[in-house]
Structure 1
Amino acid sequence: MKVKFVGAGPGDPELLTLKGHRALSEADIVIYAGSLVNPELLKFCKPVCKTYNSAFMNLEEIIAICEEGVRQNLLVVRLHTGDFSIFGSLREQIEALNKLDIAYELIPGVSSFLGAAAALEIEYTVPEISQSLIITRMEGRTPVPSLESIESFAAHQTSMAIFLSSGMVDDVTKQLIRGGYPSETPAAMVYKATWPEQKIIRGTLATLDGLAKEAMITKTALIIVGNCLGYEFNPSKLYDKDFVHEFRG
């Protein structure tokens, strides 16, 4: 047996992958991120499946349950919000399992930054407007490397998805403007992307903090910044009738 890490997706249970659904439906033990994972996903589990809310657990407790389950030849699923490769605390868990010689499998999920883009009806990469996406977070209780500060990234003025920072909107927007974005740069916040209670606010870097306060959004939201949110766009070459490539001469 092994531990299966499953990305739960951004919230909508139908955005769980088929492979993730199969793992949940077969699991004997599920350890889920209760503060973020939609509890509706647990309905995919067997009635006899044991569930543990990791919001009340530390790393040692999580690993102990994983170890006990695997030693008893039970299938353990570690259910993470979104995709565990982005701010998922994955590395520390798999390193602990490596030390115990416990096998694991990683089943990726749909990240919330993708759910937010769908909610906003945008494309992060717009030809000649923005061809890159920066995924980052504001420094808080966990430090950020000095070369990766919000302010330093702002010099690129490209599309940006900012996690774990919805309680610090004023600081975020000030750093972005100080770093190089014009104050009128389009900005948005998506609260609980793809959940039934999803909420979207749109504005600019100059107005976003006030809009967030008015909407009382202080957590569980993504900040999206850049001209990808604007009305200007250029069509891609891919479907241009005059653009020749190997499949269309």
Structure 2
Amino acid sequence: MKVYFVGFGPGNVELLTLKAYRLLKEADLIIYPGSIIEESFLDEFDGEKINSYGMRLEEIVEIMERAVKEGKKVVRVQSGDPTIFGAVWEQIRELRKRGIDCEVVPGVSSVFASAASLCIELTSPSTPGVAIVRPAGKTLREDYLEKLAKLPLTLVILLGVDRIEYVVEKIAKVRGEEEPCAVVFHASREDEVKIVSKLGKIAEEVRKRKIERTATIIVGKVVEGYDERSHLYG
């Protein structure tokens, strides 16, 4: 008995992995988060579809457990990559208690889809790493944005465009309002919107475009590219 947790990527079917596509084609039951993934994205897959939006964890697990015990192939769709803010472990933990095995199939995170859309790297010879975070809120007491801003890292903020002013305030305290940044809405989709700006102006531009969710914020010098030469090519 097994449930497959499949990363659906940023919402572009062409970015599904071959394995994810095959599992969705074979699935008898597809459970998807309708608040992020529209059912129309799943039209080419024949399995029964259940929108999990608004359901409690226990309800979702019970549906998966019942279907698996009926001999059905169950795919639990997760937006982006299941391992980044996907709350996937909570589901796996409960399924394992019920003796049900799980497999996680990676997906393209909006982090990487956004960088690809901008044709940038998230690292550079002088930017040795990336911090992927979300702003503090109902379920997170502290986000450490100011502390992270002091490090030579590219900052990628998910689930935070609705709090863009707060994000800007925290990071600008350390890096200043001239720090390069970008916001990508619906990366890789037909209605994608890209905004490349500075910290001091980005919030106003985001509000003008009426972007309130499903967008990725990238902050750092890499947004503008770099002139350094890496050792990769000698």
TM-score, normalized by length of structure 1? 0.90
- The answer to whether 1:161 aligns with 2:156 is yes
- Compared with structure 1, are the counterparts of its residues 39 and 235 closer, same or farther at alpha carbon in structure 2 (3 Å cutoff)? farther
Aligned to 1:66: 64
In 2: Cα distance, 1:41 partner to 1:195 partner: 11
Matches for 1:214-225 after TM superposition, within 5 Å: 214-225=208-219
Partners of 1:5 and 1:80 within 8 A in 2: yes
Corresponding residue to 1:205 among 199, 203, 206: 199
Aligned to 1:32: 32
Secondary structure of 2:43's aligned partner:
helix
Corresponding residue to 2:50 among 49, 52, 59: 52
Aligned to 1:151: 146
In 1: Cα distance, 2:35 partner to 2:229 partner: 40
Stretches of structure 1 lacking an aligned partner (at least 5 in a row)? 241-249
Partners of 2:32 and 2:52 within 8 A in 1: yes
Partners of 1:33 and 1:53 within 8 A in 2: yes
Aligned to 1:230: 224
In 1: Cα distance, 2:190 partner to 2:38 partner: 10
Secondary structure of 1:207's aligned partner:
helix
Matches for 1:89-100 after TM superposition, within 5 Å: 89-100=87-98
Show structure 1 runs of 4+ deviating over 4 A: none
In 2: Cα distance, 1:203 partner to 1:159 partner: 15
Shift in Å at residue 115 of structure 1?
0.3
- Compared with structure 1, are the counterparts of its residues 231 and 26 closer, same or farther at alpha carbon in structure 2 (3 Å cutoff)? closer
Aligned to 2:74: 76
Corresponding residue to 1:183 among 173, 177, 197: 177
Per-residue CA deviations over 1:87-110 (Å, capped at 9, x if unaligned) read 001111001001111111111111
Partners of 1:21 and 1:44 within 8 A in 2: no
Secondary structure of 1:68's aligned partner:
helix
In 2: Cα distance, 1:2 partner to 1:195 partner: 31
2:129 counterpart letter in structure 1: S
Shift in Å at residue 231 of structure 1?
4.0
Q: What is the aligned-residue RMSD (CA, Å)? A: 1.3
Secondary structure of 1:237's aligned partner:
coil
Shift in Å at residue 41 of structure 1?
3.8
1:31 counterpart letter in structure 2: I
Shift in Å at residue 192 of structure 1?
0.7
In 2: Cα distance, 1:39 partner to 1:193 partner: 18
2:197 counterpart letter in structure 1: G
Shift in Å at residue 40 of structure 1?
4.3
Shift in Å at residue 232 of structure 1?
2.9
Shift in Å at residue 157 of structure 1?
3.9
Stretches of structure 2 lacking an aligned partner (at least 5 in a row)? none
Secondary structure of 1:55's aligned partner:
coil
Partners of 2:181 and 2:219 within 8 A in 1: yes
Pair member with larger Rg: 1
Q: Percent identity?
A: 38
